[in-house]
Structure 1
């Protein structure tokens, strides 16, 4: 969710139709998420809860993935992997998690998908994914990637 003036964003957890948790600030009372007019709140593929109940948010305006635990405490921020091959600024769009608790996020500017372990350590890239936007994993850990301009969906088998 974001404020009317787009200056603040927060994650709100609901149970049985009632608000039960708001996650907005870190332990130093600083905002966890940017005020973003384009991404969060518009598409469920920019927020995901992984198997250990961490909440993972692709915050493209802040150029980071923000992960908090189930109580709302910041676990880590991922701002991209320093690679000579990836010269453009990291810009995460879609985000999802797999059965191993790994985090997958689409890097729109570098035409790839970053794979992180559950603690935010970079594992590897899936390259040549042009115009990636939304991500989803099925029960067989097949990755579905939507392309922003074409609306096409690619299915990628990325591990055995």
Structure 2
């Protein structure tokens, strides 16, 4: 009988702790981030809406890797973007398809990690890039973010 009570208490404690870790997560909020990306630029300014991350900052490439299939019209690129705000940083993984003819991109993105105010940042979404076939692409990130 005593073992049963102790076992029941342990199960209840584990369940309470599991639920408590999610109780502090914020609800996901919509976010948009717009970046005028210069192919030869080191850092590009960004603006965001939604209030989850800073309203403005700079973004740079952490890494760029051509992956998957490529042909004369398209390429698959994996890019890590490093966003810097006054109160912290966060990294985003992009899985990009580049259309050589239109100079446009489509992608999905997800938050990898963060520092400072963005240490517990989570989120994902889609991206469209409107290129001018020169050295500039206007990237529009749309999705949702929250804090764990």
Alignment TM-score > 0.5, same fold: no
Higher relative contact order (CA 8 A, sep 6+): 2
TM-score, structure 1 as length reference: 0.28
Q: Which of 1 and 2 has greater Rg?
A: 2
TM-score, structure 2 as length reference: 0.29
Q: Could you say which structure has the higher strand fraction?
A: 2
